[in-house]
Structure 1
Amino acid sequence: IKAFRDSRVNRFTDTELIKLSEYLNAIAELEDFTVLDHTHWREYRKKPTAEQKRRT
């Protein structure tokens, strides 16, 4: 997680914790998340379900 600097300027555009919470929620559903390489957590994307694929 990047350090939060210049809070007076960046507080409305900082989304680091939002993205981290999305990642943690996504991996919480996995059977074993201990095998994940968490250094690349920003690139992790949850695989779409069959229902989500049908919508597109």
Structure 2
Amino acid sequence: MSNLIDCPECDGDGTVEREVWVRQSATWHGDFGSEVQDCDNCNGKGQIEPLEEDE
């Protein structure tokens, strides 16, 4: 059994803030906004198993 480490992508939070396009009307007018999503690296858990060379 290996020890888990904090995910380097989300710093152990399990979530990341990403820029997303927010459409403001039926046309393509809009702007970028931010959205909090689960971290893809740790699947929202906040911790991952270390790589062998990191142990």
TM-score if structure 2 supplies the norm length? 0.24
Q: Normalized per residue, which structure has more helix?
A: 1
Greater radius of gyration (CA): 2
Q: Normalized per residue, which structure has more strand?
A: 2
TM-score if structure 1 supplies the norm length? 0.24
